[in-house]
Chains A and B, each alone.
Chain A
Amino acid sequence: MPEKRIALLTSAWTSGSRVLGLADRFLVGYPWAGTWHRPDVRIVAAYARDKPDKELAAERAKEFGFTLFPSVAEALHIGGAKLAVDGVLLLTLDADGAREELVKACVAVFDQAGRGVPVFVGGPLGQTFEQAAFVVKAARRLKFPLLCGSPLPLAVRLPAVDVPLAAAVEEALVVSPGGWDGQGYHALEAALCMVERRRGGETGIKSVQSLGGDGVWRAGEDARWSKLLLRAALSRSDSPQGTTIADGRTQDLVSNGEVAKLAANARACLVEHTDGTRTSVMLLEGAIKDFTFAARVKGGVIATQFFVAPPPNSTETVGLCRKVEDLFVSGKAAYPVERTLLATGIIEAARKSWVSGFARVETPHLAIRYQPPRDSQFCRE
C-alpha cells in the first residue's frame, strides 16, 4: 500500500506545545509496543495561519521535506488544482480561535471536490455546540471519516483498568487539575469515554449544572456528587498539594477537609445523562495536578489516573497518535465523534449555567445516543 500523504493545518507550530508535539510524532516517529515506530503516513503539505516568534513550521518543512502553502486549499491540493492529500491533520492551540476557521476552509475544499478525506481535529470541535455540529454534519454529508478529541481517553491508566463493557454504572466523577479554559475539557472527555461503556451505551445529556465556591462543597454534603467517588478518584493522584508539598506526607484530602481549602476556586459541573446516570466533573485547581476518575459500578468502585507524562516527552499523546495514524491508513475512526460533540456541548452549557447564577440548564440538543467501541482504546501496548 502506498504511503498516505497528509496535510497539516495549524495556527502556529510552536515549540513545547503538546498539541503540535503530535505533529512532530508524524515526522520523527513515536514509541509503540517497545519499539520506535515510524508512521506509515507522511506529512507532505502544511498550512500555518500565524507567524509568531519561535515559529517552527518553516524549519520543520525544510528539514522533513514538505511544502508550506499560503492557504488551506493549496495545502490540500499540494499546490495542484484538486484535492490531492489522503488525510488532514488539524492541530491548533485551544485558545487561538483558528480551529473553526481551518475546519471551515477544509470543508470548503471538500465541498468543491465533492468528496472528503479522513480528518483528525485535535481537541474539542469548536467553542460551541453549533460549531462542533457543523463539522459532524459535513463529515456525514461528504462521507469522510472524522476523528477528534483529547489524548486523555487514549492515555496510559494507572492502574490499567476500564469500565467493563455493558456494566451498570450508577455514578461517575472525574477530577481535573484546571478549569474549562484548559484541562477541564480533557477531564470531561476522559470521563465520557468511561461512562459511555455502561449498559445501553451513551444516551445523551439531559441537563448540566455548574457549581462554584461553597456551592461545590454544599452539593457534596447534599450528595449531589459523591464524596466517596471523590475520595476514590483522589486516591489515584500522585500530586496532592498543600502539606504534601510542604513536608512530603501522604494525605486523604477528602477526609482531612484540605481539598476545599486547597482548591479555593473550585468549580464543579453536574452532568445528568438521559438515562439518569450522573457524571460529576470536579475542577480542583490547587488541590492536585493530575487527572483522576472514579465510578460506582455495580459491585464496587473503579478508580484510575489518566496518566499525563511530564514534558518534553509528553507520552500521553502516543495512544492518540496511533489512532490518528490508523484513521489515515484504514479510513476508519477508532471511536465515535459524538463523544467530543457531547463534551463541546456540555462545556457550553456549563458556561451558560455559570453566568446564569448556577441554574440547571436543560440540554435537549444533547440527546445524542451512541455506542462505545467494543474494545478498550487506552494505551496498554
Chain B
Amino acid sequence: MQLGRRDVVVGAGVAPLLWSRGGRAAKRPKIAAVCTAYFKYSHAQHIVGRFLDGYGWNGGYHHPEVDLVSLYVEQVGADDVSRERLARFPAVRSCQTINEALNLGSGKLAVDGVLLIGEHGKYPRNDRDQTMYPRYEHFMETVKVFKQSRRVVPVFLDKHLSWSWDKAKQMYDVSRSMRIPFQAGSSLPATSRIPSVEMLPGAKLREALCVGYGGVDSYDFHALETNQCMVERRKGGEPGVNWVEAYRGDKFWKAWEDGVWPSQLVYACLARSHTVTPARPGMGHMMPSPADVRRLCKDPYAYRYQHADGLVSSVLMLTGLVQDFNFAARIEGRKEPFSVQMYLPMPPARASLASSFSPLANNIEKMFLTGKPTDPIERTLLTTGLLAAGVESLHQGDKRITTPHLAIKYAAPRESTFWRT
C-alpha cells in the first residue's frame, strides 16, 4: 500500500505537538530499539545505552528527552548485556518481535521513533565476504508497521543501509515515498575533530583522501563516511560518483609508488594520526618512510573514486600503520592541504567509553524530537553504494566499476553537526 502525502503524519506531529509555549516537552517521545546483538562494546550497547543511562554532554550529564520503551534483540548470546539493562530499566518492554517493539502489543504503531542497530551478531557471509546483517529486513518490518498504522515516525539506522546496493536503494526509495524522517551512518561524521575544524562551505576541492584502518565491509565504511561528510561541503555540493576502483596487493603498492593518489595527502593524514606505529623499537613517534609504510601495513587496500564534478577521493585502509581515521584534501587557493583527525576513542585500548557515540546519540535525539534528520540520508546512501562498489571491485580483481546508479546529488547540512560543545 502506497500512502499519499495527506495520509502520513510525521512522528504524530512531532514538532508542533511536542513543545508547549514554555519550551518544555509536553509529551516525551517513546522510542523502540531493534538490535541484532547487544553485548559490551557493541554498537547497540553504545547507542541504545546512551538512551537509557545518559551520557556526558555539554558540561553536564544528559538524559535524553525521550523514553526508550521497547527493546528487541535478535541474538541473545552468552555475552549479552541487554538482559541486565532490561532488569535495571523495568519500564522497557522486552520484545520477542520487531512488530511487538513497535506496537507495544497494541496492534498498531505505538512509538514515536525507532533505532535500528543491525551491527554484530552471527549472520551468514556471502561470496564477497560481506556479513549479511538484516538491516533491510528490519527496516522493511518497521515500514510494514508504519503502513498498517498509516503513520510514520523517525528512524535511525546504524552504519550503512545494507550490504546490498539494491536493498539499500529500496530502503531509501520507500523512506522518500513515505516521507519517513530517516537518518543513518557512522559516528565518525559526528565525533570530535582534532583540530576542531570544518570544511569551509563552497571550498573548491581537487583531491580528497582518508587514511583509516580495519577490514573490508567493516571499518572501510567509516573511512568513506569520514571522507564524504567533508567533501559534501564543497562548491556545488555532492553531485554523485562516476566510478569506483579498488587497489589491493601488488596493485596497491604499484599505485603507491606511481603516485596514483597524492602522497602529500597521505602524509598530511599521517601527521594528524595519534596512532602511527613506530617505525622501529625504542622510538615513540616518527613519520614512517615509504619503506616503513610498506613493512608495517598488513594487507592494505584502497578505494579510489571519481565524483561527477571531477573531484577524486581515495580511502586508504592502512591496518598495521594507524588505528584512527584522518582526512586530508587539496583545496584550490591553498598551498598546504587541509587535514583533520576524526577522534575515535575505541575501548578498551584507548578509553572505557566510545565517546564518539555521544554526539551521534545527540543528533539522533534531535531527530526524534523535531522529526528532522540532522544529517542527510543521501550521504549514507552514497557511502553504502560506494562500499558495495568497492567490495565488488575487490571481488572482480580490482576492476574499475562504473557507478551510474550513484549519481546521487545532495546538499550538505547548513550547520555543522560534529561535536564541538
A-side residues, CB < 8 A to B, are 15-16, 21, 24-25, 28-36, 56, 59, 156, 158-160, 231-232, 234-241, 244-252, 254-255, 289-290, 294, 300-303, 307, 309-315, 379-381
CA distance A16 to B284 in the complex (A): 7
Is B59 in the interface zone, CB < 8 Å from A? yes
- Residues of chain A lying within 8 A (CB to CB) of residue B195: 156, 160, 379-381
- Residues of chain B lying within 8 A (CB to CB) of residue A289: 351-352
Is B5 in the interface zone, CB < 8 Å from A? no
CB distance from A155 to the nearest CB of B (A): 11
Q: Which residue of A lies closest to B42 (CB)?
A: A248
Q: Which residue of A lies closest to B45 (CB)?
A: A248
- Residues of chain A lying within 8 A (CB to CB) of residue B57: 235
CA distance A1 to B154 in the complex (A): 62
A-B contact count (CB 8 A): 151
CA distance A35 to B268 in the complex (A): 5
16 contacts between A and B (CB under 8 A): A28-B287, A31-B287, A32-B271, A36-B267, A36-B287, A56-B282, A159-B419, A235-B57, A249-B81, A250-B53, A250-B55, A252-B53, A252-B54, A254-B61, A302-B59, A380-B195
List 5 A-B pairs, minimum CB-CB distance, nearest first: A235-B56, A34-B339, A303-B59, A238-B351, A31-B271
Q: Say which residue of B194, B285, B421 sits within 8 Å of A312 (CB atoms).
A: B285
Which of B138-146, B236-244, B342-350 makes up part of the contact surface?
Answer: B342-350
CA distance A249 to B337 in the complex (A): 39
CA distance A212 to B287 in the complex (A): 45
Q: Are A34 and B328 in contact (CB under 8 A)?
A: yes
- With A15-B282, A29-B287, A301-B59 as contacts: A309 and B53 at CB distance below 8 Å: no
CA distance A249 to B84 in the complex (A): 11
Q: Would you call the interface of chain B mostly helix, strand, loop, or mixed?
A: loop
CB distance from A358 to the nearest CB of B (A): 30
Is B274 in the interface zone, CB < 8 Å from A? yes
Q: Are A315 and B274 in contact (CB under 8 A)?
A: yes
Q: Which residue of B lies closest to A380 (CB)?
A: B195
- Residues of chain A lying within 8 A (CB to CB) of residue B54: 250, 252
CA distance A30 to B286 in the complex (A): 7
Q: Which residue of A lies closest to B41 (CB)?
A: A248
CA distance A158 to B191 in the complex (A): 11
Q: Are B192 and A159 in contact (CB under 8 A)?
A: yes
CB distance from B85 to the nearest CB of A (A): 8
CA distance A34 to B195 in the complex (A): 10
Q: Say which residue of B53, B268, B274, B351 sits within 8 Å of A34 (CB atoms).
A: B268
Q: Are A240 and B352 in contact (CB under 8 A)?
A: yes
B-side residues, CB < 8 A to A, are 40-41, 45-46, 49-50, 53-61, 81, 84, 192, 194-196, 267-268, 270-276, 278, 281-287, 328, 336-340, 343, 345, 347-353, 355, 419-421
Q: Which residue of B lies closest to A28 (CB)?
A: B286
Q: Which residue of B lies closest to A301 (CB)?
A: B59
- With A159-B192, A235-B59, A315-B274 as contacts: A248 and B284 at CB distance below 8 Å: no
CB distance from B48 to the nearest CB of A (A): 11
Q: Are A248 and B46 in contact (CB under 8 A)?
A: yes
Q: Which residue of B lies closest to A242 (CB)?
A: B352
Q: Which residue of B lies closest to A252 (CB)?
A: B61
CA distance A314 to B282 in the complex (A): 14
Q: Say which residue of A235, A307, A315 sits within 8 Å of B61 (CB atoms).
A: A235
CA distance A47 to B340 in the complex (A): 38
11 extra interface residue pairs, beta carbon distance < 8 Å, beyond A21-B285, A30-B285: A28-B283, A28-B287, A36-B270, A235-B60, A247-B40, A250-B53, A250-B54, A294-B59, A313-B274, A313-B284, A379-B195
Q: Which residue of A lies closest to B323 (CB)?
A: A310
CB distance from A82 to the nearest CB of B (A): 34
- With A160-B195, A231-B61, A313-B274 as contacts: A34 and B56 at CB distance below 8 Å: no
CA distance A265 to B340 in the complex (A): 39
- Residues of chain A lying within 8 A (CB to CB) of residue B50: 250
- With A34-B272, A36-B267, A238-B353 as contacts: A159 and B196 at CB distance below 8 Å: yes
- Residues of chain B lying within 8 A (CB to CB) of residue A35: 267-268, 271, 336
- Residues of chain A lying within 8 A (CB to CB) of residue B192: 158-159
Q: Are B336 and A34 in contact (CB under 8 A)?
A: yes
Q: Which residue of B lies closest to A254 (CB)?
A: B61
CA distance A235 to B275 in the complex (A): 25
CA distance A239 to B352 in the complex (A): 5
Q: Which residue of A lies closest to B419 (CB)?
A: A159
Q: Which residue of A lies closest to B356 (CB)?
A: A238
Among A59, A254, A312: residue with most chain B CB under 10 A: A312
Q: Are A310 and B59 in contact (CB under 8 A)?
A: no
CA distance A21 to B272 in the complex (A): 18
Q: Are A24 and B284 in contact (CB under 8 A)?
A: yes
- Residues of chain B lying within 8 A (CB to CB) of residue A28: 283, 285-287
- Residues of chain A lying within 8 A (CB to CB) of residue B287: 28-29, 31, 36
CB distance from B21 to the nearest CB of A (A): 24
- Residues of chain B lying within 8 A (CB to CB) of residue A302: 59
Q: Are B284 and A160 in contact (CB under 8 A)?
A: no
Q: Are A250 and B49 in contact (CB under 8 A)?
A: yes
Q: Which residue of A lies closest to B57 (CB)?
A: A235
Q: Which residue of A lies closest to B81 (CB)?
A: A247
Q: Are B337 and A34 in contact (CB under 8 A)?
A: yes
Q: Are A248 and B40 in contact (CB under 8 A)?
A: yes
Q: Say which residue of A30, A159, A250 sits within 8 Å of B353 (CB atoms).
A: A250
CB distance from B113 to the nearest CB of A (A): 20
Q: Are B283 and A231 in contact (CB under 8 A)?
A: no
Q: Are B81 and A248 in contact (CB under 8 A)?
A: yes
Q: Which residue of A lies closest to B285 (CB)?
A: A313
CB distance from A160 to the nearest CB of B (A): 4
Q: Are B352 and A241 in contact (CB under 8 A)?
A: yes
CA distance A379 to B272 in the complex (A): 12
